[in-house]
Amino acid sequence: MPQLEEPVELWTDDAGTPLRLVWRARRFRVSDTPTALVGTCGWWRPFAEHDVSPGRAPLEISGWRFQASADDGETHVFDVEHEPGDDARWRIVRLFD
């Protein structure tokens, strides 16, 4: 599971779910049901050191994990997240072969 920090072009549906991506000049189509990756809400981070018992910090979708295939059959599982500070751009952070 290599850690990556590579930009990727990602197309989503109206709900924000990934449909396809272009990575290293190759087009991949999502070929399974994407799984939302969650993390602590950005507005909560300044309070992260505080104890929130009996609950937990609020969460938001921080990225997606999905399987995608190229036209020639090459298939990977991608973890993608927004570029820091830019919700319009995406990057691959993990790649599973």
Cβ-based neighbours of 11, under 8 Å, separated by 6 or more: 18, 19, 20, 21
Phi–psi pair at 4, nearest 5 degrees: -125, 160
Residue 85 neighbours by CB distance under 10 Å: 6
pLDDT tens, the chain, 97 aa long: 567 788 999 999 998 899 999 999 999 999 999 999 987 777 777 776 776 666 677 777 789 999 999 999 999 999 999 887 777 789 999 999 8
Whole-model pTM?
A: 0.80
Domain locations in the chain as residue ranges: 3-36+66-96
Q: Find where tokens 């779910």 sit.
A: 17
